[in-house]
Amino acid sequence: MADQTKLNNKTNSAISSLDEAIADKREEVSSLKATLDNSKPSTEASKTTAGTTDANTLANLDYTGQQEITVNNNDPAFSKNDLSTAKGAWAAYSDLDSLNRVTDANALLNRSLMPSAKREPLTWNPTGWHNKKTAHGWLYNRSHLIGYQLTGENNNPKNLMTGTQTLNSPLMLAHEMDIAYYLKQSNDHYVRYEVKPIFRGNELVARGVQMRAQSIGDNTIHFNVYIFNVEPGYTINYADGTSTKN
């Protein structure tokens, strides 16, 4: 009994430490996102909303100064069946397309899917991977569609895309941290989640990524956004992933 009590205390301590780490990371991401927002020009583009979830429509949007915009009035619009928890937590990654491009990732997230092991280094190079060093790190990240902290899925070609540093962090990461924090609050918390890279024609680098999420039973997590795959100071050739510094 004493050993069990000691184990329980150790587990609770580990959970508490993880909760604190998530909270700290959320603050860090919020700060980074605020810095990025403050660096954007103040234009009407900052109010942009896409009224449709159609991939072709999103693919034809051009970046005009606001890297993240809402889609469908920020309504994720999952169906009743989409939100069912009857089968418990799950994650599914669609096959690569004929050009070897990542296509779609879906999940019903729950704390039970979250990994306990540290992430291993990534080795898979997604389409359009022509990386280069920048003043702030690297132009590209191997961006997870569904972040590692949510499902533990790591070096999976069906879950990795060529994403700019700012697309990956702070923008995608900010949403992932909000979801992770929510899931950690209760074993009964579930979030329906979909992340889809948006390609224009046969280009090898996505023009952006659509993220939509809905917590089950409440609206704590409720969003539908499109994030442009751009990086300040660089022009990307989306056809092949090469780039030039402005």
Question: Other C-beta atoms within 10 Å of 177: how many?
Answer: 22
- For the chain, how big is the Rg over CA atoms in Å? 19
Choose which CATH entry (3.90.79.10, 3.40.640.10, 3.40.50.970, 3.40.570.10) describes domain 52-243: 3.40.570.10
Specify the higher pLDDT residue, 114 or 48: 114
| pLDDT score at 44 | 35
* Confidence band for 47, pLDDT divided at 50, 70 and 90: very low
Structure tokens at 157: 């070609």
How many angstroms separate the most distant Cα atoms in the chain?
65
- Contacting residues for 117 by C-beta, under 8 A, at least 6 apart: 152
- Cα 199 to its chain centre, rounded Å, is 16
pLDDT of 85 higher than 90: yes
CA distance 18 to 44: 40
Are residues 30 and 171 in contact, defined by beta-carbon separation less than 8 angstroms?
no
